[in-house]
Amino acid sequence: MKQGMRLGVASRLLAMITLVILTIGITSISPAQDVQAKGTQAQTPSTVLFQNVRIFDGTGNALSPPSNVLVRGNNIEKISTAPIPVDRGANTQIIEGGGRTLMPGLIDAHWHAMLIRPNPAQAIAGDIGYNNIAAGAEATDTLMRGFTTVRDVGGPAFGLKQAIDEGIVPGPRIFPSGAVITVTSGHGDFRQLSELPRVIGGPLSRMEQIGSSMLADSPDEVRVRVREQLMQGASQIKLTAGGGVSSPFSPIDASTFTEAELRAAVEAAENWGTYVTVHAFTPAAIQRAIVAGVKCIEHGFLMDEATAKLIANKGVWLSLQPLPEELRQGFPVGSVQRAKADEVWPGIARTYELAKKYKIKTAWGTDVLFSQALAQRQGAILASLARWYSPAEALAMATGTNAELLALSGKRNPYPGKLGVVQEGALADLLLVDGDPTANINLVADPIKSFVVIMKDGKVYKNILSR
Ligand SMILES: [Zn+2]
């Protein structure tokens, strides 16, 4: 009897523990699973038919003859020059294109969704709730500029991404890197000298607590920090392999991570099926990163011919930004940052020439930081590629080509499906442009007027034709 009671208590305890474990299991459901769960509850997918549009397909081909494009749910189901019959039910929307251009949503391959509206001090020391709400408002503006996807190369954007994916706030798809991983004194180390020395294993600095930048000074520390970003949903990993303009204590000429540290990051990322991209300007920093297995170089503005050849031969991606002159002038004359900007800026044009000369796989991005005004010129920065490329080449870079870079995330791609193209079976991120952007690239610089319909994931976020 006594034995039986004890057994009863034990089994009830066991049942409780099991329940707790199960509950923890359920509540720790990942954001991605949660969104999928909601997706399966959706009713009949809505249907949108674009009639009489000329298609820029995202690959640089000439515009199609007048065509019809059927979107069902979040997919482009059918493209045809012949009429496409649809049930004209309540769930079907017909958009009369009137011969306008239908093109893929734009992709910015170098964006920092959390670092547009705040100034540097607010971004790190400001209230987290405020910073997230400001980033949400900016994300909506980003989508309304026609940017349906961004590759976020540093910043605590996981919560913002989740809120966008759940439909809480309109915004682009985000391929997040999470925190920038940097060495002590490297680009991304925004601490004050008064915060030195760091105690290994001691309390984290503010920028680390909020997940903006993480310090790592050994291969082991790099592995921890990389895996933490992956655990939070990073689709790729960003390290700074050399000095940067905006950081107070990182000389431009400095190479930061050792080859062993870079290799540790690459191994950890590749074990998760994804890749490492690095911020690097100089030949030394770029070459070391490539030897370590890095798949993408951000900026590269101080590279030489030999480095350009190496990038081309290894099939490494070069993520370039035609940084506007205003950005350089924004750094106060006489400041360390201005001196560094003056060193880097002349390299921008030279690097574009090298990228073309050696046919390097080139992605396009803006790298807007700490300026809402500059962010409003996101499309204008794309249009400024006309210095080196035809309009169709520039548009293909910001759509189909950028999407190829995004696909390097493999199974860590948060949005499986084809992006950046108008093709049957691709995800329905589409812009209807009032005019022909392959004839006049400046149309993308004026999204309020030019983009008459903006669709992301099959949902219409803007349609000024139906008014
Ligand atoms: Zn950047």
Per-residue pLDDT 10s for the chain (467 aa) are 344 445 454 555 445 444 444 444 333 444 444 443 343 334 556 899 999 999 999 998 899 999 999 999 999 999 999 999 988 777 889 999 999 999 999 999 999 999 999 998 999 999 999 999 999 999 999 999 999 999 999 999 999 999 999 999 999 999 999 999 999 999 999 999 999 999 988 899 999 999 999 999 999 999 999 999 999 999 999 999 999 998 889 999 999 999 999 999 999 999 999 999 999 999 999 999 999 999 999 999 999 999 999 999 999 999 999 999 988 998 899 998 999 999 999 999 999 999 999 999 999 999 999 999 999 999 999 999 999 999 999 999 999 999 999 999 999 999 999 999 999 999 999 999 999 999 999 999 999 999 999 999 999 999 999 74
The alpha carbon of 439 and the centre of ligand 1 are apart by a number of angstroms equal to: 30
User: Do strands 101-104 and 92-96 pair parallel, antiparallel, or not at all (unpaired)?
Assistant: unpaired
Report d(CA 353, CA 51) in Å as an integer.
40
pLDDT given at position 326: 86
The alpha carbon of 147 and the centre of ligand 1 are apart by a number of angstroms equal to: 17
The alpha carbon of 153 and the centre of ligand 1 are apart by a number of angstroms equal to: 6
Report d(CA 433, CA 400) in Å as an integer.
17
The alpha carbon of 181 and the centre of ligand 1 are apart by a number of angstroms equal to: 12
Q: How many CB atoms lie within 10 A of CB 4?
A: 8
Structure tokens at 438: 């392959």
Residue-by-residue DSSP string for 22-91? HHHHHHT--HHHHHHHHHHH--SPPEEEEEEEEE--SSSPPPPSSEEEEEETTEEEEEESS------STT
pLDDT given at position 11: 53
Residue of 82, 90, 93 whose CA lies nearest to 50 = 93
Cβ contacts of residue 17 below 8 Å, gap of 6+?
A: none
Residues around the ion ligand 1 (C-beta < 5 A): 367
The alpha carbon of 228 and the centre of ligand 1 are apart by a number of angstroms equal to: 20
The alpha carbon of 321 and the centre of ligand 1 are apart by a number of angstroms equal to: 9
Amino acid at 423: Q
Collapsing DSSP to helix, strand or coil, 318 comes out as strand
The alpha carbon of 101 and the centre of ligand 1 are apart by a number of angstroms equal to: 31
Report d(CA 155, CA 367) in Å as an integer.
12
Region for 219 from its dihedrals, namely left if φ exceeds 0, alpha if ψ lies in -120 to 50, beta otherwise: alpha
Measuring CA to CA, how many Å separate 161 from each of 169, 206, 459? 9, 22, 17
